[in-house]
Structure 1
């Protein structure tokens, strides 16, 4: 019975470690497409009349292209739409093309171009 408890505890510890390792992911400082999408959304929100009303296209409706890939600089183009209220309170859909860049190992993103 004692051995069985030890085995169960060991199994739980191993599973917990594996879940934690996969959930946290690998952080090698390389900008990802997911980061590019999130940062474009932040830049777009700054240009909206009502940023809190913004609803962005889903990942399946958003196109993300890696234009430049390392070794130090990364550039992405994110294409999608945002539904947001205009100054009259009407919900309007606006298409966007956002070109954004970052460097490996930094959290600094530069908006290169935004067409809405």
Structure 2
């Protein structure tokens, strides 16, 4: 080996650029998948939120909201971001006894805000 032998040229690769592009593609794909799971389109999370919104509304109409016990809850929907939810509520009445009533609630999701209306039947 002589002193006149040129050193091998350094190869400039695109490794870093390729890694960045790959990362951006993965993030974009995950974002797309997550948007498909948006709670406003249905699913267990939105069903739960609609149920909680209805139960909270029913509680507010009771004499003793903290005594409310819900059972037999049935969730129908969503259809066009709307649910019909029914169930039974037991709560303390004005006389200290337990009142039992069935309830029906209509819930609507408008961009993540749930609007409800309900009626009780004793």
Asked whether the two chains share a fold, i.e. TM above 0.5, the reply is: yes
Which is greater in Rg? 2
Corresponding residue for residue 39 of structure 2: 29
Deviation at 1:67, TM superposition (A): 4.8
- Structure 1's consecutive aligned runs of 4 or more residues displaced over 3 angstroms after TM superposition are none
Pairs aligned (count):
82
**In structure 2, which of residues 62, 77, 96 is the aligned counterpart of residue 66 of structure 1?**
77
The runs of 5 or more residues in structure 2 that have no matched partner are 1-34
Output the CA distance in 2 between the equivalents of 1:76 and 1:51.
23
Deviation at 1:39, TM superposition (A): 0.8
Deviation at 1:64, TM superposition (A): 0.6
Alignment of 1:1-116 (within 5 A): 28-30=38-40, 32-57=46-71, 61-69=72-80, 74-104=81-111, 106=112, 108-111=113-116, 113-116=117-120
